Amino acid sequence: MDPASDEGMPTHRGTRSPPTGPERAREGTGEPGASAERGATRAASAGDGRVLARPALAAGTEPEGAEPAPVSWRATQLSTGFVIFALLALLAVPVFVQHRIVSVRERTIEVAAGARDLTDDVERALAVEVAAVRAYALTGDESYRRTFQQARAVDRRALATLRPITRLLGPEVAASADSLEALLHEWEAVPLSVLITPGATPVPTERLLKQERLFERIVTATEALDNSLRAVTEKGRLEAQRAQSLGAILTAVLAFLALVAVLILARLAGQLRTLANREALLRHQLQASFRSRERLIRGFSHDLKNPLGAVDGYAQLLEGGLLDDPTKLRESASRIRASIDAALRLIDDILDIARADAGELRLARAPVPVNRIARDLVTEFGAQAASAGLTLDADLPDDLPEAEADAARVHQILANLLSNAIKYTPAPGRVGMRAYAVAGDGPRPGQAGWVVVDVWDSGPGIPPEDQERIFQEFTRLAPDSQTGAGIGLAISLRLAHALGGELTVRSAPGEGSVFSLWLPMAMGN
């Protein structure tokens, strides 16, 4: 379909999808690969035939099939830290589990077992004391008195040893021990001579019966303490069993972590190889960038020589007095100024490219009426198009939303595109501008809506193999047929990216071309 025909030009109003006609790209070849590292571009398919022009590395970029870039340095640090952690855990966890089991055994099982033995000693000593009291009451034999005293000594020693041990086994055991100790103190507070009067009748005496009842209470307290110690012992066994189970689980987990650590180490080794390859690739790209920068300087120097050479030629004519006619003098002065203006524009363009690449391009962002800028450009280039034998069409709706952009930079981009369309379209032909809104992500994800301006022509079109490099500096597809430095598209691309937008192209030989400037829609539209 001829994009210049009336039938092939769909009209766009409001928010809708972009037209499916070809998009244009221009400013042909200069020297092959004559772009600097920052100026080089790579075309990418947009899925509907568009070519997205986006920054790429300089000439000599990543070769076909190059390895992907390795993970970030932070990810490498995290992986290394995980490997170290897994290895340390393999050493520390078994030691911790074993220490935990030993601690439980020493703190509960063994300590509680010792406390139970002491409790049994107390209980046995008390039984001996009671038996000695009864025998002494019946016989008055002094040997029973000694037996009583020995048993009481054993009782006291066992109680003295038991007291601090029970404090280690928790408040419940300590409370039972305190109750037993209080009863034992009450028992020991009554001497044997008070309990029994040898040979007295009846036997046992009232005092002895009272002491026996106290003994029964002591036995009950001893059993309570023993039960508390048995509970602590059982709790310790369960805790030891849980520690052993935990150790088994942790061992399995650590075995898995060790396997993962081995895999991570293998991956890190692969990343080191990738880093080495990447370093070699970047070194190659850096060398290519230097060569590209040299070509950029040569191209700039070559294009700058033309206007300066013209200025020098007219200056020589003036200096030699060869231009006496005032009309010729004015004409020469005008041409000198035009040449100087061309040189200054070229310098400004180069500075814009450098600022854009360095992220230092100054922009005055505000809601911009794109349709008004486009109408001004149609009026501005109307005479130029007419003198070139071309028809200039415009489809610029009044209800077009505003874009969030810099008005001067939007004017600069669209002027470059329209100038190229007129320059490269043979007569009789047609060029035009149309604007419309597009909802959704568009060429970049995360954007709610876009304002799109198409600049189309009925020119010869651009071969697919040339659509990548037309955005490179000092690139002209037809350097002999057209003038210009060949950096307009390179600047336009950088400005579009700086504005948060995109510059796309769709074209085919013999079918004309369409350039589309995508600008983010202003908030509130």
Q: Pull the structure tokens for residue 322.
A: 């060869």
d(CA 70, CA 82): 18
* Residue-by-residue pLDDT tens, the chain, 525 positions: 333 333 333 333 333 334 433 333 344 333 333 333 333 333 444 545 555 544 433 333 343 444 444 455 666 667 667 777 777 777 777 777 777 777 766 666 677 778 888 888 888 888 888 888 778 777 878 888 888 888 888 888 888 888 888 887 888 888 888 888 888 888 777 666 555 555 544 445 566 677 778 888 888 888 888 888 888 878 878 877 887 787 778 777 877 877 787 787 788 788 788 888 888 888 887 886 676 566 567 666 666 777 777 777 777 777 777 666 777 777 878 888 877 877 787 777 677 767 776 677 788 889 999 999 999 999 999 999 999 999 999 999 999 999 999 999 999 999 999 999 999 899 999 999 999 999 887 787 778 799 999 999 999 988 888 777 777 765 555 544 445 456 778 888 888 998 999 999 999 888 899 999 999 998 876
d(CA 235, CA 198): 50
247 membership: H or E segment, kind and range? helix 206-319
Encode 171-213 in three state secondary structure.
HHHHHHHHHHHHHHHHHHCCCHHHHCCCCCCCCCCHHHHHHHH
Task: Give the 3-state secondary structure of residue 363.
Answer: coil
Q: Is 443 exposed, middle or buried (0-12, 13-18, 19+ CB in 10 A)?
A: buried
Q: Hunting for tokens 């000694």 — which residue is that?
A: 146
pTM of the model: 0.46
Q: Is the separation of the CB atoms in 486 and 30 below 8 Å?
A: yes
Q: Hunting for tokens 């005293």 — which residue is that?
A: 149
Please list the alpha-helical segments (H only) found in 369-406: 370-387
Q: Pull the structure tokens for residue 449.
A: 């809506």
Phi-psi region of 140 (alpha: psi -120 to 50; beta: other; left: phi over 0): left
Q: Is the separation of the CB atoms in 161 and 121 below 8 Å?
A: no
DSSP conformation class of 464: G
d(CA 458, CA 464): 17
Q: Is the separation of the CB atoms in 416 and 353 below 8 Å?
A: no
Residues facing 53 on adjacent strands? 43
Q: Pull the structure tokens for residue 108.
A: 């509960």
Task: Give the 3-state secondary structure of residue 367.
Answer: strand
